[in-house]
Amino acid sequence: MLMHLWLYSPSKYYDSGKPGELRSKMNENSHSLLSDYEGDSRPLLEKMISGNLFTICAPIIRKDAVFTVNGFNDSLNWVEDWDFYIRLLASGIQLKYCSSDDAACLIRVHNRSLSKKNLNMMEHLFRLENLNKVLSKIRIEGVHSGSLKKANNLQIRFLHRSLFSNYLKQDKFLSLEHLFGYFLLDRNLKVLIKGFFGLLSGKNVFDDKSA
């Protein structure tokens, strides 16, 4: 039986009009993509919680491995590649890294690809909330899906808090929405009430570490 294989290469970014100036991240706030790792994919699951480790055009994946996890979920609008990669990692696919710069995936960065901070966080939140559905189906020897979901929920709480603060003076409705999203995970009524009064006054209560 042939081994399910995932071969990936480096990804390099360059600004529009400057193809000779390559870098490993889209911008300074972006998370780092995976490089050099080889072997069983499952230890990478926790890293994938914090962000996608691969650009869409960097991996070459065996067709039988794609069929094993039922391919892409085309009901997702933004993060179908990330969801697909999570399911592939959970399947225990074997990773191989091609380090040659000749095989690098080059991505042009232009003004439209540099998203605003809030939109980046909203996309990340969307990823994490969908991840729980994927994690609940994972059955891996030595890995408990509950521990991955717990770590994931901590990330979701943090993003709800950050979005509450960022939308506080721009859009009170969205700010309130993220306050309730935080409460559903934190279950701290005192913080909910404090956040609600902070919303009315325009004060960021999460500046207070006691919150």
> What pLDDT sits at residue 176?
87
Kindly give, in sequence order, each residue whose CB lies less than 8 Å from that of residue 27, ignoring residues fewer than 6 positions away. Answer: 109, 114
Half-sphere exposure of 142 toward its Cβ, with a 13 Å CA cutoff?
4
pLDDT digits (tens, 9 = 90+) for 122-156: 656 666 666 666 666 665 544 556 667 777 777 77
Mean pLDDT of 13-31: 75
pLDDT tens-place string over residues 69-96: 888 877 766 567 777 888 888 888 899 9
Supply the pLDDT for residue 50: 67
* Mean of all residue pLDDT scores within the chain: 75
The fraction of the chain above a pLDDT of 90, given in percent, is: 1
Of 2-6, 41-45, 105-109, the range with the lowest mean pLDDT is: 2-6
Q: Which letter does DSSP use for residue 143 in this model?
A: B
Please, which contacts does 181-186 make with residues 24 or more away whose CB atoms are closer than 8 Å? Answer: 181/156, 182/157, 185/153, 185/156, 185/157, 185/160, 186/157
**DSSP state letters, 4-49:** PEEEE--EEEEETT-TT--BSSSSTTSPPPP-S--EESGGGHHHHH
Of 14, 97, 114, which is closest to residue 54 (Cα–Cα)? Answer: 97
